[in-house]
Structure 1
């Protein structure tokens, strides 16, 4: 993955920060169909947007964790809505990093902001998701490879700068 940042949607996209405190930022459009009756992004659609944001961070070809695309399971998901997200806020920016990296699982932290909100503004949506490496053949969790773990550890920190 390129280290070059693209400045769009109110902030840097891609990887930023130093190893051991990296953040991945993805920009996603908010589609008309993502809205509920009150023009807020529907909860189920927000979960889908968060999933779509993780794809370029973890699963694209050439990234050490791309192997997780063949076997990973979500074991826990917690979403807190701190503000509204509407179609007019799009494209939204999702900042992601790891709060914890274990032998076979990691806890990913997500912050969602509208395109005009600076990274210093409170996030409209905060999410933590626990994801485990999984062997589909044996139907059991598996340990991370060395390369997978090293990649995740670059994003390991409690609160991004």
Structure 2
């Protein structure tokens, strides 16, 4: 079993436009909620994403299990966890609940790989960022 460590918690308001014809949050939006948590975590570590970077994180796979539909109005609490760090990657995990509730509405995962933008090949996570990620995970 993979060791997971909580590294970030955020709250995201559910917008009316997040809903679909079935009156619940569209499945694609859950990935946006996870993305928001992931970007905030990286920025909190001091890593600002920009279009001028020569290296950066990409998602190579992502999954989500939908247990209870999220609906408007409300606010989602996204808890982000990480597993052991690889040389160029980190497994991330997400738990989504409505603020103030213990019930798990959805959970998911995404593998983040550090990539050289020019070559499209994986490269090591920068040492300074890797150290911060490792300390966050301990």
Say whether the fold is shared (TM-score over 0.5). yes
Q: Is residue 81 from structure 1 mapped to residue 66 from structure 2 by the alignment?
A: yes
Change (3 A) 1:68 1:126: farther
- In structure 2, relative to structure 1, the CA distance for the partners of 1:142 and 1:134 (3 Å cut) is same
Q: Give the Cα separation in 1 of the matches to 2:131 and 2:88.
A: 13
Aligned to 1:12: none
Distance, in Å, in 2 between the alignment partners of 1:21 and 1:43 is 25
Task: For structure 2, list consecutive stretches of 5 or more residues without a partner in the other structure.
Answer: none
The reply on whether 1:126 has 2:107 as its aligned counterpart is yes
Structure 2 match to 1:11: none
Give the whole-Å Cα distance in 1 for the aligned partners of 2:136 and 2:23: 34
Give distance in 2, aligned partners of 1:83 and 1:92: 12
1:93 aligns with 2:77: yes
1:112 counterpart = 2:93? no
- 1:144 matches 2:125: yes
- Kept in 1, the 8 Å contact 2:45–2:133? The answer is no
User: Is structure 2 residue 17 aligned with structure 1 residue 33?
Assistant: yes
Whether 1:66 and 2:51 are equivalent positions in the alignment is no
Q: Which runs of 5 or more structure 1 residues have no equivalent in the other structure?
A: 1-19
TM-score relative to the length of structure 2: 0.83
The secondary structure found in structure 1 opposite 2:130 is: helix
Q: 1:68/1:112 Cα in 2 relative to 1: closer, same or farther (>3 Å)?
A: farther
* Superposition CA RMSD, Å: 2.3
Q: What is the TM-score of this pair, normalised by structure 1?
A: 0.72
Aligned-pair distance for 1:98? 0.4
Q: Verify the 8 A CA contact 2:80 2:95 in the aligned structure 1.
A: yes
